[in-house]
Every structure is written in C-alpha cells, then in structure tokens.
Structure 1
C-alpha cells in the first residue's frame, strides 16, 4: 500500500533535501514553517461576551454610593478598537500563511529557497486559498453556533428533558462537524494546494481534480489520515519533551546573567535583565522553529509522495521521487529544472545540488568544487589510473588531443 510504503521514502527525500545543512536555507525554511505551522490550519472565532449582562445591578439606574461613573462609551470604543486591530492582524497572518503554503511547496520541490520570488509569484493562489479557508471557517462556525443557541434557548424555557437530549446530540454533532472540518482542511493543505501549484488551478477546480484520485484511492488516503494523526501525536509528545529540555538548558545561562545584572545595577540592571530575557526567548523560538523544519518537511513530502503515487499526473516532485527509488540513488536529489544529482558532485548553497544560491553557478550551472571547470571539461585532478594534468580529456583549441590519436584511438 502506497500510504505505508511512502513513510520510509519521505524520510529519504527529506534527508536529501535538507542535507548537508546550510544555515541560510534552514533559517529561511524556519520562517516559512512559522507561518504554515502556526496559522495555516487555525480555527476562526473570538469567543467571549464583551458586553455586560442586563441583570447586573451596577448597570441599572444610579451607581452605588461612593462609586465613580464608568465611561461606558469610552470602554466600549476601546474594546471594539482592540478587537478590530486583532481581527485585522489575524486576517493578515492568515493571508500570509496561505501564500506561504505555496512558498513551502516551491522550496521543497526545488533546490533553493527564494522567499520574495515565490511569495510574489503565488499571491493569487494564496488569496484563493485564504478565501476558501475563511469561508469554510465561517460556515463551520455558523453550523456550530446555531444549534448551540437553540439548545440554550430550550434550557431557558425549562425543557430540561428535551434540552439534555439536545445537548447529547449536539456533542455528537459537534464532534462530527469538527472531524469533517479537520479532514477538509488537511486535504486542502496537503493535496489540493500542490494541484493548484502544479496545474495553475483555483482552489475549487483543484478540489474537483483531487476528488477523482480520492475516489479511486480512498483506502490509501484513509490510511494516510490515520497514520498522520498517530505520527503527529507521537512526534508532538517527543518534540515537547525535547523542546522543554532544550528550553531549560538554554534558559539557565540567560537567567543567571539577568539576575546578576539586576543585582549589580538596580533599575538599569532590571532593564538589561529584561532585554537579556527577551533575547533568550527569541533564541528559543528560533531553536524551536529550526527543530520543526525537518518534521514539517517530512509530513509534507509524505503527502506529496502519496499524491504522486495515486496519480502520476499530479506528481510535484518526480525527480526527488526517482532519486530515492530508482537505481539506489538514495543520496541524490535533483532540482526542479532536472539539472543533476547531488551524488554527481554539484553542490549548492542549500546542499541540494547547484552552485550558488540561485540554483546555478555562473553561466553553466557547474562549479569547480564538483570536479568540473568553467568550460564543462574534466579538471586537473588525477584520475584513478594514475594520471594528472597530462591525462585530461579536454581538446586543445588547435584541434589536437592530449592523447596521441595514433597510439590509442582517442579522438
């Protein structure tokens, strides 16, 4: 079954993409993971009652003796203003997260990470994904709130037996609704967005394209869901333990420095101690994001491998798939231009196979460190037959070879 076989292949593909470790690549991917991991599947809603109950005596008639009048209008204004700012920030982050989904996919299938280029190229797709997610969240929120209001009204009417039954049914209904929402959001992120990127479709058209392969391979996708949920639970527990221990180790020196500054410098020391603590928090956040880079990449590669196995036309990473499955090239990896493998000696800034951060070095895509000179011929390293410069195979400009044509027939 592909859903099981792809578990191991995803490890190989992830290792090939992220090794050798390049700090620039990892830091860029950490930034992307911050968005796709933190805001990409968030729920919508701002629970809570920000108004006062009409049964509260403090808001009826005169204020109690000795109390000061509360500027209710001013308080309401600032509450609404804060809510508006929070809403705008949340929508902005959701939009950026939607675009970053495509930035992440571009970075996984290619051999470089170009944040600005990938972001600007996928603004339209990100907008459609953002609107789809937002619409789905509003729909699910409405479907969850309306029955809840009906149950509350029935309770206030004194229908205890009926309301208790409704409450039990609502719990089952809410669980089913949450499950459907989770599956739709996961399939959208894991399978529909690659189709949007690969075939340049909208989100609804991509869902229509995905439904065909979903119906034909429903067992694989069902097993995929179960395996992903189990793996995420296990990985989440392990990651929590590792990050907790790492955070404790990282916090010790910063805490010591902050305490010493506070003791030695009083008020100024307090300010410096706060700054030291903030630096420690930032470093821990960076550490956590770097820790989650291979985890997030693994789960996304797992989904891409399954999608390509279910439908060859929807394979976003054919070269990387071939590298780990064909001819034992487990350490190889190609970029999206199909230029070559890592095992062939092409080295990139992110360890994926090409010379510079652009994915190519100079004009021909090969650097001297890989065993090729700028002209594309063999360099002057000695080969395993004992020769050095005199054993080169490059032709001279005058048409003659370094080997004697009459002696060995090389031409």
Structure 2
C-alpha cells in the first residue's frame, strides 16, 4: 500500500517484499502498491524564486569581490572557452547544473494534458506551453550553478494529483572534458518520456560572455509514438568589465515533430542597446503544421506570452506565470540527504552550499577546491581508461546518450500499475506482472 507520513511518500517495508509463502501479501494484494524497497521521496519545503523583469537578473559586484573579478579577467582572452576557468564562489547558485535542468518539470502536468490532445496542432501548442513553463523559475541576481563532478547524479520526482501518477527525473554527469550532462524523465502512466544530453560551452567576449547549451531533448508521447525534438537558448551575461552585470536568454530554438510535420520556431531576444524595460526577456515565434503557418507568438518568457491564431484571427494568452499558475506548480520531491549516495548532487556539494548560504566565501572556495582536487586525482589515477557512466550509455550508431533502464515494453495504460525508482533505476510495475507474482506465490505454497 502507499502511505503518507507528514510529507513522505513511501512503500511499507513488507510491501511485495515478504516471503513467497506470506499469505497476507498473497490474499489481498494492493494494486496501488509501488514496489519493494522503493526510494523514499520527501516534499521539498523551501524554493527560491526570482521575480519577473530585468531587476532580478542583475548583479552589482561588491568592492570586496571586485578584486576577484579582475584577477579572473586577467586570465581571459576574447573568444576563450570558460569551461576550464575556476569561477569565484560569490557568483554561484547553490545547486548543481543537474538540479537546475529539472526546472522544466514543475509543470509536467501540461505534458499529461498534451498526450490527450486529439489534434497534432493541439499537441504541439500544449508542448510549447510546457516548454515556456521551464524558464520563469530563476535565482535572484546573476548566479551560475555548480559544474557537476564526473559521475555525479541527481534524482527527484513530482506527484500529479489529477492523474495519480508520478514524473521521475534522473540525471548524470557522463563526461567532464567536455562537460556533458545526460537526463531521462518518465511518467509511463500518463504516457510520456523525455531523454537527452547537454554539452555545456561558454565563450568570453570582453565585456560579455555566453553559456551555450549544445544538445537536444527528445519528448516521446507513448500513446502515439510521436517524438518532439527540442533545443535550448543560450544564456548571455553582459556588463562584466563595466556597468551592471545582467543575465539574459538569447538565440533561436525549435520544437519539431517529424511524424506530424508540426514545428515551432522561437527566438529569445537580447535587450537592444537603447531598449527599455519592456524589451527585456522578449520572445517571438511561429507554429507551423505541414509548412502552413498556424499561429504567431509574442511576449516575454518570464511574464505573459500571447498566441495569435491565423485561422480565427483570435489572440489569447498562451502562458502567464502569474500567482495562480505558480500556486499550482507540482510539488517537487527529493531524496533525504542521509539516504543519498556520496556522488548525488546535494550530498556531494553540501559543504560548498552550506558555506555559500552562510556567506562565507573563503570556506566555500576551500570546499569547492577539495572537490575539484579529488576529481583531478581520480582522473590522473584513471589515466587513459575511459570513464563508464553508471546510468547512461552511448549508442554506437547515433552517438546519442541513452538511459540504460528505460522501459521499452509496448505502452498499455490499463496495464500500468505504477512506476517506482530505486538507486537511479526507474521501473514500471504492470498489473499482469502482479498477477504473475501472485501465481508464483500460490505455486510456492502448494509445493
């Protein structure tokens, strides 16, 4: 059975984990039972959320930190890759990049709704609405998440009250040089899964720098065998040498489904030199179906986004992260730190995070150095032996990174009892499997 104690969601110790001759488990199986020894997730209580607009994306460097910035800048040249540059801890957001990538799933219920849309245009429109929901959660000021350590993992999940389902998120740092993060998301009951990998690049241009997320995410609707290929904007920081440092999103992105021939083109626009506050965080775009223009998009990615339907001439709000929408965010659940492995993000970076939260930059720098030095030592000991990721493998034909434990069975929502996760492995319990287990129990007793 599934029980709730405070904010915990967990399986009872004997749940399907007892002896084959345990008649209590055999006589009254609970079809809502997750699985034996499933990971216990607890609801995350605190969450930082920056406000909309330009002010929350600015950072004024204090005098005590100006020296650190100038010492860093002396090492840089225009066009230089910043991936190997050690950044001062005062500009770090106290969480890993693997954690930050999970921002897109606080509104995963929009994907549950998209899977039910009858028309191809309706589905891509709903997918776009979900995509936009991943950007408005941002830290206060200009902050960069930790660069994940090789082999680092992060896992979390979101319960869907309306469908009584769960979206699981698993990520792993599969390469350090170049830095590549792989991720897998699954909600088999609601019929969707997402996989992909991101190669993080960064360039220094003098008074500005860009962080480029090179990679694709592939969203699969299981009930239709439809795949949507999604790309990401880049982050641009300006005002490094003079002025106030400001972080923006820029670039052209796309969401495309080859099967339905529906696609979306979006542009995240940087603030023009003489632009006012209304020109901050602007986006524009178009939705096509079989090369026919269906709608145009205008707005601000952290505020209201409008869609203008070409057929009807009507304009409506496609997305608006107002107070009502934010109150309906799915509650993220995480693994308690004492239940995490030593290479899980929160536990791995706990001392750096603690120092940052205490505003102790010296201790944060020291703790960060300990982790980086350990990584360098491990790489030296490994030598030419290639690193083998624990949860992902690279396809020899496509070179794409794939989650090792993804469920490849034909999708049948009537047969899907529940999903659960243990040690990074997402598994599905089927009703037919439960019946099979019960027959084994009866056979063991009879024998």
TM range (shorter): under 0.3
Q: Which has the higher Rg, Structure 1 or Structure 2?
A: 1
By percentage of residues, which structure has more helix? 1
Q: Which protein, 1 or 2, shows the higher relative CO under an 8 Å CA cutoff with sep ≥ 6? A: 1
Query: Under a length normalisation based on structure 2, what TM-score does the superposition of the two structures give?
Result: 0.26
By percentage of residues, which structure has more strand? 2
